[in-house]
Amino acid sequence: MTWFRDFLLGTPAATHASDVDGLYIFITLLTIFFFFFNGALIFYAAKRWKRRSDDEVTPHITHDTRLELIWSLIPLAVVMLIFFWGFKGYVSAWVAPNDAMEIVVTGKKWLWEFEYPDGTRALNDLHVPVNKPVKLIMHAEDVIHSFYVPAFRLKRDVLPGRYTEMWFTATEPGVHQVYCTEYCGKGHSDMLARIYVDTPEEYEVFLREGDEQVRKMPLKDLGKLVYENKGCATCHSIDGTRGQGPTFKGIWGKMERGTDGKEHVVDENYIRESILVPNAVVVQGYEPIMPTFQGLLRERELLGMIEYIKSLQ
């Protein structure tokens, strides 16, 4: 049945997935069986007890105790089986082990922020060790979001003003997509993240040295990667079109007028300040909605963004 599961749901990548997949496939196969079984019964009954003549009178039947017990007790047993099977998986998915590693997740328009136990923070990329329980403590800064990992078969709403939790144990190294599945505004479909499941050695390297791409990529290429993966593309275009924020196309070296009435030249310091303290200068005609990236981008990523914006002439 592995091929059938993978065809319907994709390859599972966490411990909870087997419970979800098993129940889902059971319900699917049960539905298919009863679809054809009931159809066959209807066809048989229509053919077997077809009215033969206009004079034929249907006998008066009040009830059939045996049939009534069959169509009551068998569905009851099936429904109770589904309930307890699902309840077992539900409880297991809610109660995290005591030794689970805790990571704080913040949802905000339109990106995901992850904070590790050592205080390290990252945007839209979450690294976790394989075969290690991980507990996500989640909240939102603005509106309702929803954190969904198809490969883990897990989904939780992320709410402003309160915490929600989910946990998982990833079973295979690899990269898995995260989606926001609660409509949260214009950039909803771009609110994506990735979970990198690392071997213990890879995870130690990540904690000690950071992502290899950050350390080795050319600055302009790194800036392009940051633009695409850290939420910049949600508000800032690179083709000159107007978005939630100013376009990056041809902005380098220009004079921008802020809401304070002053003009500011777009240079290295302006870009750096706009990323780390976005409300220090708000360009006229735009709302001050950009979140701060203070502590979320490494110094080399900031330099990469500067070089990338320079190249967009």
Q: Domain limits of the chain?
A: 2-41+63-94, 101-210, 217-311
pTM of the predicted model as reported, rounded to 2 decimal places = 0.69
311/120: higher pLDDT: 311
Is residue 18's pLDDT more than 90?
no
Max distance between CA atoms of the chain, in angstroms, equals 98
Dihedral sign, CA of 280, 282, 287, 289? Answer: negative
Distance CA 109, CA 291 (A): 8
Per CATH, 101-210 and 217-311 having the same topology is answered no
At 45, which helix (H) or strand (E)? helix 17-48
| pLDDT of 222 | 85
Q: Residues 3-12: what's their mean pLDDT? A: 78
For 272-302, the DSSP string reads HHHHHSTTSS-BTTS-S-PPP-TTTS-HHHH
95/145: higher pLDDT: 145
Q: Residues 216-220: what's their mean pLDDT? A: 82
Is residue 243's pLDDT more than 90?
no
- Torsion of Cα atoms, 133 then 138 then 144 then 150, to 10°: -10
Distance CA 199, CA 9 (A): 25
Spell out the CATH class of 217-311. Answer: mainly alpha
What SS3 class is residue 156? strand
Summarize pLDDT for 26-82 with one digit per residue, the tens.
Answer: 999 999 999 999 999 999 988 888 877 777 777 787 888 888 999 899 999 999 999
| pLDDT of 130 | 95
Distance CA 296, CA 211 (A): 13
Summarize pLDDT for 46-56 with one digit per residue, the tens.
Answer: 888 887 777 77
Summarize pLDDT for 118-160 with one digit per residue, the tens.
Answer: 777 888 889 999 999 999 999 999 999 999 999 999 999 999 9
Is residue 187's pLDDT more than 70?
yes
Q: Does 3.40.50.1440 match the CATH number of domain 101-210? A: no
